[in-house]
Amino acid sequence: MPLSVAVAGASGYAGGELLRLLSSHPEFEVRTVTAHSSAGKSLGEVQPHLRSLRELVLVETTPETLAGHDVVFLALPHGASAPITAELPEGTIVVDCGADHRLESASDWTAFYGTEAAEPWVYAVPELPRKSSAGTAKQRERLVGATRIAAPGCNASTVALSLAPGLAAGVILPTDLVSVLAVGPSGAGKSLKVNLLASELLGSASPYAVGGTHRHIPEIQQALRWAGAADPTISFTPVLVPMARGILATSTAVLAPGVSADEVRAAWQLAYAGEPFVELLPEGQFPRTADVLGANTALLGLAVDAAVGRVVVVAAVDNLMKGTAGAAIQSLNIALGFPETLGLPTDGVAP
């Protein structure tokens, strides 16, 4: 019998992507969808592309409406998840696609979000390398049997997957990391904002959260510390571009002394060998966002710029898929003992 599922924040982009994947997942049955201003409407009115679920009626987001399900997904703004999760039964599996439970450091949360930190949950990027005294493992191992799961920030997981293998292998230095991202506006949510209007976006590229202010920075640093960087420093600059969804992240790092280009490539190849959703492309090839749209994949291209002694990693993901909803369901599959790839596409949509 399929597990019963509730999705809070079902009217938004992340909620809609969760529902699109859940609608064809053989182990889950969506029974409840919730929203705020759209409560009382049918799901078909606010997410018309979800034809198979269109008869569901959106209800208010409360612990009472979410309780009683086997699995609850939360696709809510930061600060909104923690009060609800605190009231859900312990037996309920909860996956938070918001930011509330991602950070282990309470001081980092307060510095970047300005409120009191919530309890950290298991981070939902299975492929991330983690170094310890026992060697290098993957975040995947921590997800087995988890009942409280924190889906990643899309920018954060893209940068972390780009740089973590080099840090774990010691072929790049943890300081002077630089990432510049071209991102689609769906990552900012569905709320009406002037800078997200078509007339502001089309024909333009607009940087935001410049100068170390983006809230994904501590999340990136946390993941890179897990990979073995004691005190990573990163300059992180996202740029809005006129594509609905997708991230193209160009990250560079200083090459460690005495390391060859072959050793660099070997580090990433070893880190992601056999991974179903993260792939290092052949030498000389670099991904496009068009190659990953609608797919739960992260494609990486790698080069060594010998003239300046830096490693360059270009990563492409669909921010709503591998960046959010796909990572959430992939991690839930692992937690429940289902095949990790169940219900998740690896083929993109083109053109």
The confidence score (pLDDT) of residue 68 equals: 94
CA distance 100 to 114: 12
Q: Which of 343, 314, 307 is nearest to 327 (CA)?
A: 343
pLDDT of residue 193: 84
**Predicted confidence (pLDDT) per residue in 297-348, tens digit:** 999 999 999 999 999 999 999 999 999 999 999 999 999 999 999 999 999 9
Are 181 and 286 in a shared domain?
yes
Give residues with Cβ within 8 angstroms of 164, minimum separation 6.
Answer: 128, 129, 223, 224, 226, 227, 271
Percent of the chain with pLDDT over 90: 92
Question: Are residues 143 and 176 located together in one domain of the fold?
Answer: no
Q: What is the pLDDT of residue 182?
A: 98
Q: Are residues 172 and 90 in the same domain?
A: no
pLDDT of residue 151 exceeding 90, the answer is yes
Same domain assignment for residues 311 and 176: yes
pTM of the model: 0.96
Cβ(160)–Cβ(128) below 8 Å: yes
C-beta separation of 323 from 247 below 8 A: yes
Statement to judge: residues 148 and 158 lie in one domain: no
342 within a domain of the structure (yes/no): no
Are both 120 and 210 inside the same structural domain?
no
Q: Count other C-beta atoms under 10 Å from residue 177's C-beta.
A: 25
- Annotate 264-283 with DSSP letters as a single string: HHHHHHHHHTT-SSEEEPPT
Tokens for 250? 């160009």
Q: Is the dihedral of CA 242, 243, 245, 248 positive or negative?
A: negative
Cite the DSSP H helix spans in 72-195. 81-85, 106-113, 140-143, 154-169
| Statement to judge: residues 237 and 180 lie in one domain | yes
pLDDT at residue 15 is higher than 90: yes
Domain with 113, as residue range(s), is 3-152+322-336
The per-residue pLDDT for 26 is 97
Interatomic CA distance for residues 57 and 34, integer angstroms: 8
Q: Catalytic site residue 97?
A: no
Same domain, 278 and 217: yes
- The number of folded domains in the chain is 2
pLDDT (0 to 100) of residue 187: 85
**CA angle at 274 for the pair 273 and 278, rounded to the nearest 5°:** 75
Residue 349 domain flag: no
Claim to verify: residue 200 and residue 281 sit in the same structural domain: yes
Same domain, 172 and 273: yes
- CATH number of the domain bearing residue 186: 3.30.360.10
Whether 207 and 144 map to the same domain: the answer is: no
What's the pLDDT at 24?
96
Tokens representing residue 105 in the block? 């450091």
Residues 17-43: tens digit of each pLDDT: 999 999 999 999 999 999 998 999 999
Query: Which of 21, 154, 247, 328 is flagged as catalytic?
Result: 154
Predicted local distance difference test score (pLDDT) of residue 196: 84
**CATH number for the domain that contains residue 62:** 3.40.50.720
Q: What is the mean pLDDT of residues 265-289?
A: 98
Q: Is residue 189 very low, low, confident or very high in pLDDT (cuts 50, 70, 90)?
A: confident
**Looking at the structure, do residues 89 and 167 belong to the same domain, yes or no?**
no
